[in-house]
Amino acid sequence: MNEVDLIKKSLKDFFTPQILKIAIVPLLVTVVVMVIIFMGFADYSLSSLDQVIIQVQNGEEFTVDPNAPFYYVWAVNVLTFLLHYSITAWLAGFLLFTVGTFFILFFSIFTTLIIIGFLTPMIIETLRKRHYPDLVLKGHGSLVSPLWVAFKSVIVMMLLFILFIPFYFIPLVNIIAFNLPIFYFFHKLLNFDVTSTMLSSREYFEIYTSKKNLFRFRTLLLYFMSMIPFIALFSAVFFIVYLSNGYFVELNKIRKPGLDI
């Protein structure tokens, strides 16, 4: 099965009533979480940060509300420090924009991966009954495995962010430098959610070692989709459907050599 056929098959699966019912869950949860966050941020909006900038530049004292959200306090402290020195004042706008963009992007992806992690077994089982009823899944994950993989992925991601600091101030290059660590995290968790649910350790090693670049390409495609506003809210379940179908194809090749599906 070529990649175009796999995408078509996954889209057909996604628009079935069973999968669409599941797809509503991450949409509703994400909307609720984002509404709560923005309601908490409403009283400490960007207009408040603008006031901070004006007061600091005029040499006036500014006291941070102790009841303000932690992210607002952090932003004010960083801005205050930078604006006190002319040589670093130009960094204030850059940091505010880039950190804000990073936070929103990472938070949306992180929330999506957490929600999808709970729905993955249900999605994979639905696909198995629909296309592969004779396959017995032999997942190799445990209750601790997702936490351990997530912890390691976060550590590596943070190290990559630190390593790429020199590239953040280079136009165009900084786009790649910001996204590579997040993509690493996205790929690791999404790939683990699927493979740990449906493949044994041996099957995963056999498939992934020979097809790792193909699956990296697939998760990269999904990562680009996750950055599209609004579409990402509906596409989270499609991520699992698409990757699962890809692994089901490879699993059939292992268990039923010569079978082309």
Backbone angles phi, psi at 81, to 5 degrees: -60, -45
Question: How far is the C-alpha of 190 from the C-alpha of 239, rounded, in Å?
Answer: 8
Q: What angle do CA 98, 100, 102 make, to 5 degrees?
A: 65
Residue-wise pLDDT tens digits, 94-122:
555 566 566 666 676 777 777 788 888 89
Query: Which helix (H) or strand (E) covers residue 64, if one does?
Result: none
Q: What is the dihedral of CA 134, 23, 184, 187, to 10 degrees?
A: 10
Token duo for residue 217: 């390409």
- The pLDDT assigned to 99 comes to 60
Is the CB of residue 248 less than 8 Å from the CB of residue 259?
no
Question: Would you list the domain boundaries of the chain?
Answer: 3-35+105-255
Q: Is 2 helix (H, G, I), strand (E, B) or coil?
A: coil
Exposure letters 154-170 (e unless 16+ CB within 10 A, then b) = eeebeebbeebeeeeee
The whole-number pLDDT of residue 175 equals 83
128-173 pLDDT, tens digit per residue, is 999 888 888 888 877 778 888 888 988 998 899 889 888 877 888 8
pLDDT classification of 61: cutoffs 50, 70, 90? low
CB atoms within 10 A of CB 79: 21
Res 55: pLDDT: 55
Give the separation between CA 36 and CA 123, rounded to whole angstroms: 28
Which pLDDT tens digit goes with each residue over 81-91?
A: 555 554 444 55
Q: Is the model's pTM score more than 0.85?
A: no
- Mean residue pLDDT across the chain: 77
Token digits for 82? 């930078």
Place of tokens 């090749």: 253
> Tokens 């069973």 map to which residue?
18
The Cα 77–Cα 62 span in angstroms is 10
User: In the chain, at which residue ranges do the beta strands (DSSP E only) sit?
Assistant: none
Kindly tell me if the per-residue pLDDT of 13 is higher than 90.
Answer: yes
